[in-house]
Every structure is written in structure tokens, then in C-alpha cells.
Structure 1
Amino acid sequence: MVEASPPATETIADDDTCPVCHLLIYAPVRTQCSHILCASCMAQWADTTSTTNIIHSSLDLDLREFDPNYDPAYDLEASCPMCRTQTSAQPDTELSRELEERYPKTYQGRKEEEEVDRGQRSGQGGVEGVMILIGNRHRLERGSGDDNQHDWTFFVRLSRPDLVEHVHVNLHPTFRPPRVTLSKAPFEVRRLGWGTFTLQAVIVLKNPYVWVQSVEEDEKENELKLQWTLDFEGRGRQGRVRAKVIKEEGTEELDGIARRTRSGGVRREEERRSPVRYPHMDPEFET
């Protein structure tokens, strides 16, 4: 009987090895200074300071093809671990597919290692970075005379949508309803109106995750509030927000009580309010 030979070892080319961890590059990102490394290695160097300041950027920046497992490295400015220049990194999905096809066994092994490492960080209450895109798309609806209207879509996109319980969007009080709750991605609200105004988005995380406002002062919140003023110039505009989340243990019961209290308070407040409606600004106005 002929014994089966052990599987051949995959020899990794030097160009396919991460310069930081010296392993096969997994979930590769490419820096502006043209270096390629693992997204998780880049994340170790990234500046993941929590901030609610919105950095305006192009509408071309999109999270749909981004690997949610490595959000800290996504478009964050950092000192490049190779040349030490300030840079940012973008996922290289084409190279990722090539490496997986070239080294299927090794790539699968790297994937399992990264998932274990990530699970340990989350399970031990490690702080993780989350990238948020907030903005609006816009299209001008031509009417007769001065009857032009703006078809706009407000959106909130996150690199970790799986952590979100829901997103509350507070519109102008002339819209009905003035408050919209979105329970699953995509978190978008589309309306037709005449003028711009400032919206507020309240991003509520699933228990036991909380937003970290300050690691040093141990400031944590279940909700993250962001404001966005509609932009009707061209196709619209968006901004980026870098935030942090942490997984807390033993908060399920208290968090559930707090949520019920908050949601009940919101309903009672909305029942008391009876804002004036303007049909010309509210596409859902019913007479």
C-alpha cells in the first residue's frame, strides 16, 4: 500500500510577504506612499483617536467593498511603518484575490489566525476603530418657473454595520414623521424638498457594545450623535468620522432598562409635539 504524501508546502515569494509581520499578506492595503502590508498590521500604526469631527471627502469614497474585519486601517492617516511618512491606506481587493488563488492553503490559515486574534481583542474588551461615512446624494428636479425641487438621500454608512442596533434620523420638523428610525443597513432616508437644513443622526449600538469618547477618562456612551447639513451642490457630499467602540461584559440587563426608558421618553415627547406641516416641503404630506 502506497502511503499518501503530505501536502506540498506553499513557498511564499518575498514580494507577497508583509514587511511588518513577515507572513503572507492578508487583507492587503496599499498606502499612498506605495507600500503594501496586512490591514491588521497597518491598523497597529494607524491613528485611531476617537473624534466626532466630520472630515469632508469625495462621494467616490465607499465602504461597500471594504472588509469589515479590518476597519481601523480604512482611510486613516498614520505614519507609514516602512518610510515613516504620513499616509493613509486603501484595501487592495484585486491583490487579495490574487494571493488567495496563488496560496489557497496559506491564505486560509492566515484568515483563521486573524479571526482568532480579532475575537480575542473583542472578547477581552479591546477598543476597536470604526469608520463612518455620513452625507447626502442630490439630484435637482426641474419644474416650471421657480418650482425646482431637490431629490436628496441622506445616508450613514459604517465599516461595522453589524454592531448597530438602529439609527435615529431627526429631520426638519416640517417633515412627517420628523424622526425616522432605521433598523438595518443601508441606513438611508430619501425625501423631496426645496431647501437645505441640518439633520441629526443618532447611532445606537447593540448591547454590549458602546462608543468610547475618551479612553483616558473612561467616557462611554451607547449613542453617537452626528449632525449633517444637506449639500445641494452637484451630486452631493459626504464626510468621514473616526470613532471607537468597546465590548463591555455584564451590561445586558441595565442596558435593556435604559433603552426602554429612553425609547418611552422619545415616544411621549413626540406625542406632545404637533409641528406645523408645509405641503410644499413635505412629499409625504397628506391632506
Structure 2
Amino acid sequence: MAETPAEAIAHDDVCPICHLLLFDPVRTRCNHILCASCMAQWADTTALSNIIPSRLDLNLSDFSPDYVAAIHAEANCPMCRTLTTASPDTTLKTALAQRYPLTYEERRVEELALRAAVAGSGHGTEGMVILIGNKHRIDRAAENRNTHDWTWFLRCSRPDLIEEVRVSLHDSFRPPQLTLRAPPFEVHRWGWGSFTVKANVVLKEPYSWITDGNSAATRNPVITLDWTLSFEGRGNQGRVRAKVRKILEDPHDDGRASPVAWPHMEADHV
């Protein structure tokens, strides 16, 4: 039986990183095109800030468990070194699959095998989106000064990775410390003044938060998020895009890790 002739791949359809046919192509803001997996690997090693506060422009219903860290994490472009992000180019993806059906299928099989190998190695990077904020309303029927009815919340696209959320309120509340072990991660109270709610978000083993300050080999299961309650209108909320990774514990490590302090989230009206 005669072998199927190899498909000739045009130069513009080759990834500049892996030098193979582009698969799940993403386009950077500086207009360079790479495989999603190549951009993910590059962003994982070159991102200047793995945690990016931003104005909220999505609803919880927009969250996807298939969020790809490389598409949303800022990194220096591997081609021109410009600080950028990348977005899926679905039009090009469809065109490549139609133009090179055999090669694109081979690339799909290769990518699936690669992802399985990375996931099994304990070094796979996954993306997570976190919403933090508070709802608010004025309780005009209150008989004392506690007229602000508020609900602090923390929601994320991967709640299955969260072990617990340790919440610290103002010392005037009883109890001032709470541990939330299952979603929804919310605290509802009445009060008269604003203050900063501190939340330590703890990942399940063997996951670790990826930040600029921690070693790739050291598990860091705890990060700290601060949110100052907003009593403007119906409340405010902010968004964080983060990365997590499976980390194999060092048998000589005592397992304790210092929380990583994240900056206050930028707020936007709900």
C-alpha cells in the first residue's frame, strides 16, 4: 500500500518556537502567532507578574475550568520581548485543520500525549481566576448604627483545588477569624464602618501557588488576599488571574510555608 504523501507546510503556518505546524494557535497583542502550549511554556518561565489584578469585566458564568494560564498571563513575547498577552485565534485554527488535515491530527495526538505527560509528572501548570469583593445594601430599618448589610465573597474558577479559606475580620466581630472549607466562600455581616478583610487561600495537596518570589521546587500552598469593604452602591469586586502547579514535597521539608501577600485588588462597581 502506497504511503500517504506528506503535507507541505507553508512557512507562515509553522510555530516559531517548536518549528512544527501551529496547533491551537494564539495571537499576541504584538501580532505574533504561536502554539498555545508553546506560549504557555514561555509565559510560565518569563512572566513578570503571575498575579495580575484587573478591573472586573466578566461574570461568574463566564468562568471556564479550561482556562489556559498562557492566554491571560502577561509575559514578554518570545519574538519581540514586548510585554504582552495572547488570545486564541479560532479562525486560523479552523483554517489550519482544513488546510493540513493529516498533520493537524498528528499534532493533536502529540499535544494530548504531551499534556498527559506533563500532568503526570507533577509539574503541570494550571490557570485559576479569582473574584474577590463584597455585596452591599443599606438597612434603613436597623435600630442602631449597623446599617450596612454586607457579604464578603471569594469565588474562583477551580474551587476543586481549594482546601480552605481562612478569613480574618475586624476584631470587633465575633468570631473575628473564620475557616471556610467549602464553597460558597462568603461571610455575611452587618456593620457601621469599612475595614480590610484578610483571606488566606489554602490549596489542596500537592498544589502550589506560582509567584515571582517562590522557588519552582518549593510548595507554597497559601496566599493572602486583602479586600477593603466597599459601601458604595451595591458593592465592588475585583479579579485576579493566578497560576498553580503540582509540587512534589521535599521529605526533609517541614511543610510550612509563609503566606504570599498579594496587593489590594483593583475595584470596580458591581
Q: Shorter-chain-normalised TM-score: which range?
A: 0.5 to 0.7
In structure 1, give the amino acid aligned to 2:195. F
Alignment match of 1:81 (pick from 78, 91, 94) = 78
In structure 2, the partner of 1:215 is: 215
- Per-residue CA distance 1:230-249 (angstroms, 9 max, x = gap): 34446523142544533317
Kept in 1, the 8 Å contact 2:28–2:85? The answer is yes
In structure 2, give the amino acid aligned to 1:224. I
- Per-residue CA distance 1:43-90 (angstroms, 9 max, x = gap): 233234676xx643110157714734x32x132222212333221223
In structure 2, give the amino acid aligned to 1:98. T
- Per-residue CA distance 1:115-151 (angstroms, 9 max, x = gap): 3223333433436364443422545457479986455
Superposition map of 1:6-85 within 5 A: 17-46=14-43, 47-48=46-47, 55-60=52-57, 64-65=63-64, 67-68=66-67, 70-71=68-69, 73-85=70-82
**Cα distance 1:14–1:245, how it changes in 2: closer, same or farther (>3 A)?**
same
In structure 2, give the amino acid aligned to 1:58. R
* Total equivalences in the alignment: 241
| 2:233 is aligned with 1:236 | no
For structure 1, which segment, 118-127 or 100-109, has the greater mean C-alpha deviation from structure 2 after superposition?
Answer: 100-109
**Cα distance 1:155–1:165, how it changes in 2: closer, same or farther (>3 A)?**
closer
**Cα distance 1:176–1:41, how it changes in 2: closer, same or farther (>3 A)?**
same
Kept in 2, the 8 Å contact 1:134–1:155? The answer is yes
Alignment match of 1:205 (pick from 203, 206, 211) = 203
In structure 2, give the amino acid aligned to 1:77. E
Superposition map of 1:120-139 within 5 A: 120-126=117-123, 128=125, 130-136=127-133, 138=135
- Partner SS for 2:30: coil
In structure 1, the partner of 2:156 is: 157
Kept in 1, the 8 Å contact 2:165–2:179? The answer is yes
- Per-residue CA distance 1:210-267 (angstroms, 9 max, x = gap): 4466227x5433333333323444652314254453331797xx98xx9xxxxxxxxx
CA distance in 2, matches of 1:193, 1:15: 60
- Partner SS for 2:201: strand
**Cα distance 1:117–1:237, how it changes in 2: closer, same or farther (>3 A)?**
same
Alignment match of 2:113 (pick from 116, 122, 145) = 116
| 2:94 is aligned with 1:98 | yes
Report percent identity of matched pairs.
34
Kept in 2, the 8 Å contact 1:59–1:236? The answer is no
TM-score w.r.t. the length of structure 2 is 0.64
- Partner SS for 1:214: coil
In structure 2, the partner of 1:283 is: none
- Partner SS for 1:225: strand
- Where does structure 1 lack aligned partners over 5 or more consecutive residues? 259-287
CA distance in 2, matches of 1:215, 1:112: 32
In structure 1, the partner of 2:223 is: 224
TM-score w.r.t. the length of structure 1 is 0.61
